[in-house]
C-alpha cells in the first residue's frame, strides 16, 4: 500500500474542488466511500473518488433523445 493511494479530508476536498466541510458531510451521509481506521480520521481512496467522479456524468439532451428513440424503436419492433 502506498501513501498516495489514500487521501485525507483536505486532500479529497482539493481533488474534488470543494471544501473539507462538504467532504465530511458527504462522508457522514455515506455518499462518499470512506475509510476510518479504528474509528479515527477519515481517509478516501483516490481511485474510488476518480471512479465516482467519472460515473457522475450527466447525459446531454441529445443523448437522452437518442436513447429514448432507440427504446421506442425497440419496443415498436416487438
Using DSSP, state whether 78 is helix, strand or coil.
Answer: coil
Containing 6, the helix (H) or strand (E) segment is strand 6-7
- pLDDT score for 75: 74
Using DSSP, state whether 51 is helix, strand or coil.
Answer: helix
* Predicted confidence (pLDDT) at residue 7 exceeds the cutoff of 90: yes
- pLDDT score for 23: 97
- pLDDT score for 1: 44
pLDDT tens for each residue of 13-64: 999 999 999 999 999 999 999 999 988 899 999 999 999 989 988 999 999 9
pTM passes above 0.75: no
Classify residue 20 by its DSSP letter.
H
Amino acid at each position: 500500500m502506498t501513501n498516495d493511494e489514500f487521501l485525507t479530508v483536505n486532500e479529497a476536498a482539493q481533488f474534488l474542488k470543494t471544501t473539507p466541510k462538504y467532504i465530511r458531510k458527504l462522508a457522514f451521509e455515506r455518499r462518499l466511500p470512506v475509510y476510518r481506521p479504528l474509528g479515527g480520521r477519515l481517509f478516501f481512496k483516490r481511485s474510488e473518488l476518480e471512479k465516482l467522479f467519472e460515473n457522475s456524468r450527466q447525459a446531454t439532451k441529445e443523448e437522452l433523445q437518442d436513447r429514448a428513440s432507440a427504446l421506442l424503436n425497440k419496443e415498436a419492433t416487438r
